[in-house]
């Protein structure tokens, strides 16, 4: 049996546009991050800010799941964390109204949905029009919605990846900012593939935020 070759992640991915072509914003962006789970993308943004790759500050983390690991990451990076548990609200709009209030309280200009597992309503989208960014684990417009990694494996495609895009009322459909391609390998499970996609997510999210800010100025 031939064993699969070790994968060099950088060699096996294609990112567009290249981060070197995206200027860092001149004035610091005030970010609010919405996250529901592990928060590795939150961490990637925080690290990019620390190393100067992204001129920004995370003003607040909003999370909806009391046991989300992202809370520990926020504490580590000294970012205030606010729990807005969707179970405490009778509908999506009420949750979004509370989110808006919190984001405004922390003077947030840009909203980053980094693994926010809730559908946002026009209430939130209109309050931050053109300034909400989402990361999704597929090459949109393929494999929208939940279980995007599994959808790609089931479809038998050989290349998938991740997309950072502006949020519009239709799920996973706004203007695409940045994408990275990731090959699907013969021995991949949803977990192994998602792990490799996440490496690329962490690469493209910070420059995609800078790109959105640049586009917004034009």
Could you list the active site residues? 136
**Smallest distance from the beta carbon of 198 to ligand GRF, in angstroms?**
6
How many residues are listed for the chain in this entry? 218
Nearer to ligand GRF, 103 or 204 (CB): 204
Nearer to ligand GRF, 25 or 39 (CB): 39
114-152 b/e (C-beta count within 10 Å ≥ 16 → b): bbbebebbeebbebbeebbbbbbbbbbebbeeeebbebb
Report if residue 206 touches ligand GRF, rule: CB under 6 A. no
Nearer to ligand GRF, 4 or 143 (CB): 143
Q: How many residues bind ligand GRF (CB under 6 A)?
A: 14
Among residues 88, 93, 29, 90, the alpha carbon closest in space to that of 63 is found at: 88
CB 203 within 8 A of CB 15: yes
Q: If 0-12 CB within 10 Å is exposed, 13-18 middle and 19+ buried, where does residue 176 land?
A: middle
Please tell me whether the peptide bond between 73 and the residue prior to it is cis, using omega within 30 degrees of 0.
Answer: no
Among 73, 136, 196, 203, binds ligand GRF (CB under 6 A): 136
How many Cα atoms are found within 13 Å in the side-chain-facing hemisphere of 146?
Answer: 3
Residue ranges in 4-140 assigned as alpha helix (H): 40-50, 70-76, 92-105, 122-127
Report if residue 161 touches ligand GRF, rule: CB under 6 A. no
Tokens 């989208």 label which residue? Answer: 125
Distance CA 16, CA 178 (A): 6
Report if residue 19 touches ligand GRF, rule: CB under 6 A. no
Report if residue 179 touches ligand GRF, rule: CB under 6 A. no
- 23-52 footprint of ligand GRF as x/- string (CB under 6 A): ------------x-xxxxx-----------
Among 22, 32, 108, 137, binds ligand GRF (CB under 6 A): 137
**Alpha-carbon torsion 57, 176, 170, 138, what sign?**
negative
- 181-200 footprint of ligand GRF as x/- string (CB under 6 A): -----------------x--
Nearer to ligand GRF, 24 or 200 (CB): 200
Report if residue 201 touches ligand GRF, rule: CB under 6 A. yes
Report if residue 174 touches ligand GRF, rule: CB under 6 A. no
Binding site for ligand GRF (CB under 6 A): 35, 37-41, 114-115, 135-137, 162, 198, 201
């Amino acid at each position: 049996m031939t064993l699969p070759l070790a994968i060099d992640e950088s060699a096996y991915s294609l990112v567009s546009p290249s981060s070197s072509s995206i200027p860092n914003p001149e004035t610091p962006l005030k970010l609010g991050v919405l996250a529901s789970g592990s928060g590795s993308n939150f961490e990637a943004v925080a690290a990019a800010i620390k190393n100067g790759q992204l001129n920004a500050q995370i003003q607040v983390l909003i999370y909806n799941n009391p046991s989300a690991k992202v809370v520990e990451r926020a504490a580590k990076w000294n970012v205030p964390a606010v729990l807005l548990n969707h179970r405490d609200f009778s509908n999506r709009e009420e949750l979004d109204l509370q989110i808006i209030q919190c984001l405004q309280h922390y003077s947030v200009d840009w909203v980053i949905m980094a693994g926010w597992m809730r559908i946002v309503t026009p209430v939130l989208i209109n309050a931050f029009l053109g300034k909400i960014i989402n990361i999704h684990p597929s090459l949109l417009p393929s494999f929208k919605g939940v279980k995007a990694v599994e959808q790609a494996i089931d479809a038998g495609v050989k290349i998938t990846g991740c997309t950072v895009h502006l949020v519009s009322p239709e799920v996973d459909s706004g203007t695409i900012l940045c994408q990275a391609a990731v090959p699907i390998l013969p021995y991949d499970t949803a977990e192994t593939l998602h792990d490799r996609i996440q490496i690329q997510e962490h690469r493209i999210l910070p420059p995609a935020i800078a790109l959105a800010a640049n586009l917004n100025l034009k």
